Amino acid sequence: MKIQGKKIEGANEVIIVIPRGSNADIVLKAQAVLDMDPFDSMCPPPEPPRKTLPGGKEVKNLKDASYLKSLDNHAVKRLNWIVLTSLEATEGIEWEKIDLSDPTTWNNFEEEMKEAGFSNVEVNRIVAACIEVNALNEEKIQEARERFLLALQEQDEE
């Protein structure tokens, strides 16, 4: 894909720097996840149970407690997978308690990070950066709009 002759390449990335005082800073890279198919194939969304209404009509029971809990669990798995997949952009990152092909291990990333010496705030910052690189928010859009308008203004002044 090109825009104004410039080829668009590469996913959005963000660098996460965790200061370590007198030790070397820890530098992580998070990259936007461009393909959710691997997650969807490993973790298909839960299906709601069916219930029979008076008159014999069958419908999905979207308010079933176990279904709602399954939806919550699926959302947590999805977020964990996005975080772990985003952090794969960090050169040399290795997990000891996580296997990306095994969804039952994905919840271990926070525990493993804490064991590595990351505080709750640092773990939250890393997760937030992974969410940020995979999403747009109004602040990002406004900043991009302002850069664009400034560039237009500079062109007009030339």
Q: Which of 128, 76, 121, 122 is nearest to 103 (CA)?
A: 76
Q: Name the residue ranges covered by the structural domains of the chain.
A: 2-157
Q: Is the pLDDT of residue 37 over 80?
A: yes
pLDDT > 90: percent of the chain = 61
CB 23 within 8 A of CB 123: no
Q: How far apart are CA 137 and CA 116, in angstroms?
A: 31
Q: Is the pLDDT of residue 16 over 90?
A: yes
Reported confidence tier of residue 4, pLDDT bands at 50, 70, 90: confident
Q: Is the pLDDT of residue 139 over 80?
A: no
pLDDT attached to residue 136: 67
DSSP one-letter string for 95-122:
-SS--TT-GGGTTHHHHHHHHTT--HHH
pTM of the shown model: 0.80
Q: 38-86 pLDDT, tens per residue?
A: 999 999 999 889 988 898 898 888 888 998 999 999 999 999 999 999 9
Q: Specify burial of residue 16 (Cβ count, 10 A radius: 0-12, 13-18, 19+).
A: buried
Q: Is the pLDDT of residue 23 over 90?
A: no
